[in-house]
Structure 1
Amino acid sequence: MKLLVKYITLLYLVFSTSFVFAQVNEDVIDSEKRFTIRGSVIESNTYKPIPDVNIEVSGGAYTTTDALGEFRIVAKRGDELIVRHKDFETVYYIIKSSERIKVEVEPNKTDNFRSQALKSKTSTKVFKSLIDSAEVYLKKDAKKSIQFIADGLKVSKSVKENGEAYEVLGDIYMHWKQYDLAVSNYRISIQNRPTNSVKIKLAKAYQLNKNYQESLTTYNDIDKKELSNWELVTLYEGIGDVHQNTKSFDASIDAYTEGLKVASKHLITPKITDLNSKLAQVFDEKGEPEKAKGRFNESLRFASTQNKKRAVEEKLKFAEFQNNLSDYSNEIEIRKQALDDIKEIEIDSVFDNESPLTPQKQNYKIGNAYALKKDFGNAITYLEKSIEEADDKEDLIVQKDATRKLSDVFRDAGEYDKARITFDNYIELLDKVYIKREQEISQAARFSKDIINKQNRILSLESDRALSESKYQLNIEQARTQKLIIYSLIGGVLLLLITAFIMFKYIKQQRLANNLLALRTLRSQMNPHFIFNALNSVNSFIASNDERTANKYLSDFSLLMRAVLENSEEDFIPLEKEIELLELYTKLEHFRFKDKFDYNITVDKNIKVNDFVIPPMLLQPYIENAVWHGLRYKKTKGHLNIEITQNKPDEIKITITDDGIGRQKSKALKTEHQQKQNSKGMGNIKKRVSILNNMYKDKVDVFIDNFQDEEDTGTKVIVTLKKD
C-alpha cells in the first residue's frame, strides 16, 4: 500500500546570529550559513514513526530517519530538501530558514498515495516550544536561554526529550565559552540518547577545554560509516584541530587532508575553504612556507566563490602569513584590498570591536608594516587614521596599541616632542584600559556565578522530580493504607500487624531518601560558596597585575576544584583523599596570606588512613574560618596547626588550632552581611553533621572552643571520626 504525504509542518524559525566575526542585521541572512534541520516522518492516524525514509539535501548531505522516524540534516538557506521513500512519490522543498519539519502520512482508500505541499504549522507541544525558545535566545541572553531549558526539563516526559534538552544546554555553554559545563551536559545528553552529532560536539568541547586525549578518544570511538558527509568532514577537521593544538603537525596534516578529500568529493565548499586555510597554518607553523602559500592560495580561491566576508577573512589570514615572512609590501597590499572589501561589507553588517574585520585594526596593521619597512610617513598616516577610527568606535585596545606604536614611530623618525606627547596619550589610554579590564573581570565573575547557580538548579531537577513522584506515591499509598486498615479491622488483628510493619518500613525508607536529598542540597550550597571565595582570590591577583601569581594560583586551584567536584556527590570519601584536599586548600590560602601565618599538617604514622572515611569538604570551612576570620587580622604572624591522631582503634581525632584573634574579636569586626554569611555557612556544616549522625549512628562529633588564654585567644576545633 502506498503512502500519501499529508503534511510537512514548519514548527519554528530559529533565529541565529553570528557573534564571532560579525553581527548580521536581522533582515539579512547569510545565504552560506549552515544550520541543522530537525524533522520527523509519522503516520497521521496512529502517529507511528516511519523509519528508513531517505532524506537528502542538494549539495551532498544525506541521512535517513531512525527507528523513531526522526532525522537531522545540515543545510543552508536555498538548499533543496528531497524526501524519498518506496511507498510515496519524491517530495521536493526549498529550505528558507532553520526549521523543524514534520511529515504526516495517511493511507488512501484506493491504496494510492500522492505527495502534498509542505505547509507550516505551530507545534502545540510545550516541550518543543521551550527548547525552540532556548535556541532563539542562545546567542543573545544565556540566562534566559538556560531558564527555558530548565522549564523544558520540568515538562519532559522521555529520555529522548531529556537528551535533546541537555544537547541544547551544551550548545549554550559552548557559545558562551563555558567549555567544562558544555562537556558535562553533552555527556548527560549522550547518556539519555546517544547520537553521533552530539558525540562530535562533545569531542569539540573536550578540545576547547584542553582535554585533548579525551577529545581524540571520543572522535575515534565514533563509527565513521554512520556519519553523513558533512559530519565526516567535521570529524576529520576536529581530529586535525586537536593534533594542531598538541603540535603533532604531521598527524594534523593527515587528518585535515582526509577531511579535504571528502569535502572535495561531495563539493562541500565551505569546508574546502576551511581545511585549506587550516592546512596552510599548520605548514606555516611547521616551517614549510611554500606549502603554506599554496594552501592559502587554494583557500582564497574557494573563499571568493562563497561571499565577500569569507573572502576577506582568508585575505587577512594570508596577510598575517606574509607578515611572518617579513614580506611587508605584499602584506600592505593585501590589507589595503581587505579595507576596501570591509567598507562594502559594512553597508549591510555591523562588526563589534572583537572582530578582526574592523577598519581600525587593519589600519593599525598597515601602519605597523610601514614602520617595519622604515617608511615613517605612511606609517604615521595609517596609525593616526587607526587611532581616529578606534576613538570613534570606542575601541580602547586598538587605540592604545596604535598610540604606543605611533609614539615609537615618531621617536624613530627623530620627532621627539611628538613622541613624548603621544606617549603621554598612551599612558592615559593605558589607565582607561585598566579600569575597563577591572569592570570586565567583575562582570565575568558575576556571570560565572549566575551560570553555575543555574546549572546547579538544573542538575537538582532530577532530585526534585524524584521527590515529587515520591510524594505523589506517598499520597496514593496513604489512601490505600486507609482502606487496608478498614479491611484489617474486619479481617483480624494479624492483617493489621502486617500492614503496620509495611508502613513502618516504608516511612523509614522515605526518611532515608529525604536525608539523602537534604545532604545533596547542603552540598550544592557549599560548593558555589567555596568556588566564589576562590574566584575572589584569583580576582585580587589579577587586579594587582600579578599575572604570574594568578596563573600559578589558578593551576593549583583547578586541581582542587576537579577533586572537589569529583567528590561532590559522595556522602563519604576516604580520609586519604580528604587529607590531600586539605593540603592543597591550605597551600592555596597560605599562597595568598603567607605573610599572615605559617601552617603545619601532621598525620600520626600509625593511622591507617584507608580504614577511615569522612564527609567531603567537612574540614575545609573550619580552616577557611581560621584563616579569614582569625589569622588574617592578627597583628603578628600566626600559626595554623592541623593534627590527626588516633586515640582508640576505631576512632581518630582531627584537631585544627590557630592563634588568631579569636571568635569574639572576629565577630566584632564583621559587618552585618558577613555575620549572616558566616552563620549560614557554619549552619550548613552543623546540619550536615546532624543528618549524617542520624543516618550513621553518631559517626562524627565536632567540638569548638578557644585555643589559649592570651590576648589573641585563637580557636580550637576538634573533629572526632569513628570507623564504620
Structure 2
Amino acid sequence: MPDAFLETVDSLVQAKPTGFSDIHRILGPNRADTLMMRHMANTSAINQYAAGQSYALNELGRAYRNISRYIDAVTLHREAQAVAEKADNLELRVYSLNNLGVVYRRISSIRMAMDFHQRALELAQSVKNPSSSLKRSINVSLNGIGNLYAMLEQHDEAIDYFERSLQLEAELGNTLGLAVNQQNIGKSLEDQGELDQALERYQISYAYNDEIDNDMGRVICNTSIARIYLKQNRTEQAITLLDQTLPVADHLGDGFLVAPVYIDLGWGQMQLGQYDKAEKNMLQGLELAQNSDLRASSARAKHLLSQLFEKKGDFKKALGFKVEADSIEEEILSEGTVRYVNDVLFRYNTQKAQNEMELLAQENKMYQMELRTTRTTLLISGIALALLAGIFYILYRQYQLKNEKKVLTLEQSMLRSQMNPHFLFNSLNSIKLYIINNEQKNAVHYLNKFSKLVRKILEASSVREIPLAEELETVELYMIIENIRFSNEINFNIHVDEHIDTHTVRIPSLILQPFLENALWHGLSSKQGEKNINVHLSSDRKGYINIAIIDNGIGRTAAEKLKRNKVLKRNSVGIDITRERLANFAKEYQNPFYLEIVDLYDDRGEASGTKVVIHLPTT
C-alpha cells in the first residue's frame, strides 16, 4: 500500500471531518481500491472516527456490488448505516440507506429497495438547508424510486421521478447523474414502445458517460442501444456493437453488466438463425444472472430461450423456460408489491403535505404574535411622538392584516373546495369498483392518477402562484378521475397557442378546476349524446392571457331549471372563491382581470353549451 495513502489516512483520522464531501474529496480517487478502503475502515474504527469508518464501509460495499457480490455488499452497507446512526451523522446515514436501496433493486427486491430509498429521501428532505451531498442523495433517492416504478411497469410515474432528478442534477452540475437519468428515461420510453425517443436518450447518456470516461456507463448505454437495434431489426449493427462491448464488460467483472450483453448477443444470433451460438450465449447470460441473483435478467433470458427452443422444435424445453420466466416475473411484480409501493409513496406525500401545512400554520401564528407586539410598540411610540401619526399607522396595519387574513381564508376555502369529501369519496369508490371487478391494471392506473392529483393539489395549495403548465397538468388529472364517473364519455382537450410558453406564465394555483366542475355537473351531467369540454389558451396584444373553457352542455338556462328541481343542489362556491382570488392576483398588474360567461346557441337558436373566458393580465 503506498506510503502517501497511509499518510493521508493518518492525517484524515487526526482531523476527523464529519461531512461526506470533505471525506470524499480526499478518499474519492481511491474509493474503488478495496485494500485501501479496508485499511481506512479499520484505522477509523481503532481511532473511533465514525464518519471515516462509515464512508470506507460504504465504498467497500459499492465495490462488492459492482462485482455482483450482493450479500457482502448488503452486510457492509448495513454496518456503515449502524456506525453513522450511532454517531448521528445524517449525511452518511442517508448515503448508506441509498446504497442499500441500489443493492436490493439490483436483485429485484422491490419492497426492500423502496423502504431504503424512501427512508433516505425522508431523512434528506428533513433538513431545511441541505448540503450539496444531501442534495445529491435526494437525487439518488428520486432516481431509485423512479427505477422501482419502471420495474413495476408504471412508466409515466417513473419518468416523472427521473425528470425531477434530472432537473436537480443539472442544477448541481453532476454529469454522472445526468447520464444515469437520461439512460433511465430511455429505458422507460423503450418499454412504452417509443424506440426512436429511447434511442435518442441513450445516445445523450452515452455522450455524458464518454465525457467523464465512465466505462460502466458506456457498457450500459451500448447494451441498451443494441437492444433498440434488435427491436428495429438492425441485427448486424446490434451484434457488432455487442461484440465491441463484451470485452469491456468482462473486464469490469460485474454480472449486472455482463449478463445482458450475452443475453442480447444470443437474441441477435437467434434473429439471424444461428441457433447454436444463440443458445450458448443465452445460457451463458442466464448462468451469470442466476449466480448474481439478477432475477429480472434471469426472467428475460428464459423468455428468449423459450422462443429459441420453440424455433428449434423442442417445445418441451420451450414450455419449461416459459413457465420459469413467468414464475420469476410474477414473484417480482406481485400485486402485493405494487400495492405496497403505491401505499408507501401515497402515505409519504400525504404526510409531507400535512407537515408543510402545520409548519405554515405555526409560522403564521408566530407572525401574528410578532405583528401584535410590533403594533403595540408602534402604538406607544406613535402616541409619544405624534398622536395623529399613530392613529393613521394603526389603521394602516389593521387594513393590511384584514387583507392578509382574507388571502389566507381564500386559500383555505380554495383547498377545501378542491378536496371536498364528496369528490374524494366518489373517486375512491370508482377505483374500488375496478378492484371488485378484478380490473387490476385500471385500478392501479387510476389510483396512481388519483394519488398524483392529491399530491399536486396539496403542493399547489402551499403557494399562491404556479406555472401555467403545472395548472394544466393538474386539471388534466382531475378530468381523468372525474371521467371515471361519466364512464369515460367526456372528450377533454387542451389547446395552447404556439407562442405561449406555459412554463414561464404564472397564475394563481388551482383556478381552473371550479369552472371545469361547473361544466361537468351543470352542463354535461344531464346531456345525452356526445359530451365535450375544450380548454383553449391564447394571448392578445392588450397584455392578457385568455383561457377559454367551452362545453357543449345543456346551457345555463336549462341547468338552472334542473337545479331548482333537485333535492340535493351543487353550489358553485368554488367559482365565487376563485373570482376573489383572481381579483386579488390582478392587483399586482396594471390591467384588471375580467371573466366572461357566454351562452352558445346553434343555428336553430337552441342552447348548445357554455363558454367561460378568463382574461388574466400579464402586464
Range class of TM-score, shorter chain = 0.5 to 0.7
Contact 2:279 2:308 in 1 (8 A): yes
Is 1:357 aligned to residue 298 of structure 2? yes
Contact 1:137 1:144 in 2 (8 A): yes
Deviation string, structure 1 residues 101-124 (Cα, Å, up to 9, x no partner): 99xxxxxxxxxxxxxxxx877234
Contact 1:38 1:100 in 2 (8 A): no
Which residue in 1 is equivalent to 2:87?
123
Are the structure 2 counterparts of residues 385 and 695 from structure 1 closer, same or farther at C-alpha, using a change threshold of 3 Å?
Answer: closer
Contact 2:199 2:228 in 1 (8 A): no
Identify which of 522, 527, 540 aligns with 1:634: 527
Which residue in 1 is equivalent to 2:237?
288
Distance 2:201 2:84 in 1: 49
Deviation string, structure 1 residues 140-163 (Cα, Å, up to 9, x no partner): 375896577457645535665873
Which residue in 2 is equivalent to 1:475?
369
Letter in 2 for 1:140: M
Contact 1:638 1:659 in 2 (8 A): no
Are the structure 2 counterparts of residues 157 and 478 from structure 1 closer, same or farther at C-alpha, using a change threshold of 3 Å?
Answer: farther
Deviation string, structure 1 residues 312-346 (Cα, Å, up to 9, x no partner): 4432122112123221121123334455556655x
Structure 1 residue 57: Cα displacement: 1.5
Aligned partner of residue 386 in structure 1, secondary structure: helix
Distance 2:301 2:506 in 1: 61
Distance 1:384 1:693 in 2: 68
Are the structure 2 counterparts of residues 163 and 8 from structure 1 closer, same or farther at C-alpha, using a change threshold of 3 Å?
Answer: same
Structure 1 residue 357: Cα displacement: 0.5
Distance 1:287 1:467 in 2: 64
Are the structure 2 counterparts of residues 274 and 585 from structure 1 closer, same or farther at C-alpha, using a change threshold of 3 Å?
Answer: closer
Deviation string, structure 1 residues 202-222 (Cα, Å, up to 9, x no partner): 45435644699xxxxxxxxxx
Aligned partner of residue 5 in structure 1, secondary structure: helix
Is 1:315 aligned to residue 262 of structure 2? yes
Distance 1:288 1:653 in 2: 50
State the TM-score, normalized to the length of structure 2.
0.55
Structure 1 residue 292: Cα displacement: 3.2
Distance 1:176 1:247 in 2: 19
Which structure 2 residue ranges, 5 or more long, are not aligned? 1-9, 37-50, 65-72, 103-110, 150-157, 189-194, 446-451, 496-504
Deviation string, structure 1 residues 255-298 (Cα, Å, up to 9, x no partner): 777766x64xxxxxx56754664676688748436733631542
Structure 1 residue 588: Cα displacement: 13
Distance 2:364 2:533 in 1: 46
Is 1:381 aligned to residue 316 of structure 2? yes
Distance 1:442 1:668 in 2: 43
Cα RMSD over matched residues? 7.0
Letter in 1 for 2:297: P
Letter in 2 for 1:294: D
Equivalent positions of 1:440-589 (< 5 A) are 461=356, 468-469=362-363, 471-483=365-377, 485-486=379-380, 492=384, 494=386, 496-506=387-397, 508-509=399-400
Distance 1:384 1:623 in 2: 52
Is 1:167 aligned to residue 139 of structure 2? yes
Contact 2:414 2:577 in 1 (8 A): no
Contact 1:134 1:144 in 2 (8 A): yes
Deviation string, structure 1 residues 210-241 (Cα, Å, up to 9, x no partner): 699xxxxxxxxxxxxxxxxxxxxxxxxxxxx9
Contact 1:280 1:295 in 2 (8 A): no
Which residue in 2 is equivalent to 1:688?
578
Are the structure 2 counterparts of residues 390 and 186 from structure 1 closer, same or farther at C-alpha, using a change threshold of 3 Å?
Answer: closer
Structure 1 residue 383: Cα displacement: 2.6
Distance 1:455 1:203 in 2: 29
Equivalent positions of 1:19-38 (< 5 A) are 38=20
Aligned partner of residue 56 in structure 1, secondary structure: helix
Letter in 1 for 2:13: V
Distance 1:189 1:211 in 2: 19
Distance 1:653 1:257 in 2: 46
Which residue in 2 is equivalent to 1:371?
310
Deviation string, structure 1 residues 353-376 (Cα, Å, up to 9, x no partner): xx1314xx6455334223324xx3
Contact 1:173 1:179 in 2 (8 A): no
Letter in 1 for 2:298: L
Deviation string, structure 1 residues 421-443 (Cα, Å, up to 9, x no partner): xxxxxxxxxxxx9xx99x99999
Distance 1:297 1:579 in 2: 46
Which residue in 1 is equivalent to 2:47?
none
Identify which of 535, 547, 554 aligns with 1:659: 554
Is 1:57 aligned to residue 65 of structure 2? no
Structure 1 residue 78: Cα displacement: 8.5
Contact 2:120 2:141 in 1 (8 A): no
Contact 2:176 2:209 in 1 (8 A): no
Which residue in 2 is equivalent to 1:32?
none
Which residue in 1 is equivalent to 2:449?
none
Which structure 1 residue ranges, 5 or more long, are not aligned? 12-36, 42-50, 63-68, 81-93, 103-118, 213-240, 264-269, 399-432, 552-557, 602-611
Distance 2:319 2:16 in 1: 58
Are the structure 2 counterparts of residues 684 and 335 from structure 1 closer, same or farther at C-alpha, using a change threshold of 3 Å?
Answer: same
Which residue in 1 is equivalent to 2:13?
5
Are the structure 2 counterparts of residues 695 and 128 from structure 1 closer, same or farther at C-alpha, using a change threshold of 3 Å?
Answer: same
Identify which of 177, 181, 186 aligns with 1:201: 177
Distance 1:714 1:327 in 2: 65
Contact 1:244 1:252 in 2 (8 A): no
Contact 1:706 1:715 in 2 (8 A): yes
Contact 2:226 2:242 in 1 (8 A): yes
Instruction: Flag the structure with higher strand content.
Output: 1
Which residue in 1 is equivalent to 2:155?
none
Distance 1:641 1:277 in 2: 44
Structure 1 residue 382: Cα displacement: 0.7
Letter in 1 for 2:159: Y
Letter in 1 for 2:578: R
Is 1:245 aligned to residue 140 of structure 2? no
Are the structure 2 counterparts of residues 134 and 474 from structure 1 closer, same or farther at C-alpha, using a change threshold of 3 Å?
Answer: farther
Aligned partner of residue 321 in structure 2, secondary structure: helix
Letter in 2 for 1:201: G
Contact 1:335 1:362 in 2 (8 A): yes
Which residue in 1 is equivalent to 2:278?
331
Distance 1:256 1:126 in 2: 30
Letter in 2 for 1:366: L
Aligned partner of residue 320 in structure 1, secondary structure: helix
Instruction: Flag the structure with higher helix content.
Output: 2
